[in-house]
Amino acid sequence: MSSRANVGVGRGVASFLLSPFRRQTYRNLAYLALAVPLGFAYFLLVAVGVPLGIGLAFVVVGIPLLALLVAFALGLAGVERWLATALLGVEIDRSGPELPGDSRRERLVSLATDRSTWTALAYLPSKLVLGIASFTLITSTLTTGVSLLLVPLYYDQPGLYVGVVTDRPVEFHPALYLGWNRLLVGYETVFRVDAWRVTTLGEAAAVALVGVFVLLLGLQLLNWLARLSGWYTRLMLDGTYDVAGAVRRAVGGRV
């Protein structure tokens, strides 16, 4: 039991330290970086298209608009399946172009009532959440880590302050108290930090080591986020129609 736990810890540490040297890490980063503009675009498409189609439904124009939106959403779902497969290595099944029903109307109804059609439509705006999470992690960990890592290169530049500045002093109050013969005996001290500036190469190297840790932590968190995104994409898009084949089949054409 203990040996298995040690092996698990060792693998976790190795995965943490080796994340910058794996190709999959940078594929994950590419996928998460794309989630920022794609999520925003998908959200705008659905947030504008659905209310507009519903609002115009009573003048007939809205029904074709909604149908076009659903067809476009299925096409974008195909793009998302391809991205997840190419960058995350997640295999997502798709339904073939054959739709149940003998007539064109029955096939369109089958497409409109299929659960995967609407999960694909729901997936698109939810991509914005992934985009926001990706942007937050990338800017808060990777950019911070790189800045700290490069401190030895610019800490001594004239007119440049590298360090910590606070608007008010930070105080720490470590204390230790022990009960003795109905008395409370202890020790308490106060540490006060006003500001700290990097002035030596040793201090800059220490800051750079902190930057390495922040970078490794950021990459690990982004890898976990990419895995979670792959799982969610498979859950929402598994079994959705191949839009080109589905649309051609729905209107009575042959693939």
Between the CA of residue 167 and those of 70, 78, 155, what are the distances in Å?
53, 52, 22
Please, are residues 236 and 124 in contact by the beta-carbon 8 Å criterion?
Answer: no
Confidence class for position 95, pLDDT limits 50, 70, 90: low
Torsion of CA 36, 39, 44, 49, to 10 degrees: 160
pLDDT tens-place string over residues 28-54 = 999 999 999 999 999 999 999 888 887
CA 111/CA 58 separation, integer angstroms: 22
CA 111/CA 70 separation, integer angstroms: 10
255 occurs within a structural domain: no
CA 206/CA 50 separation, integer angstroms: 54
Q: What is the pLDDT of residue 255?
A: 41
**66, pLDDT greater than 70:** yes
Which of the residue ranges 134-138, 183-187, 225-229 would you say has the lowest mean pLDDT? 183-187
194 occurs within a structural domain: yes
The model carries a pTM of 0.77
68 occurs within a structural domain: yes
Q: Give the 3-state secondary structure of residue 125.
A: helix
Return the percentage of the chain with pLDDT > 70, whole number.
75
* Owning domain of residue 124: 2-250
180 occurs within a structural domain: yes
236 occurs within a structural domain: yes
Total tally of structural domains belonging to the chain: 1
156 occurs within a structural domain: yes
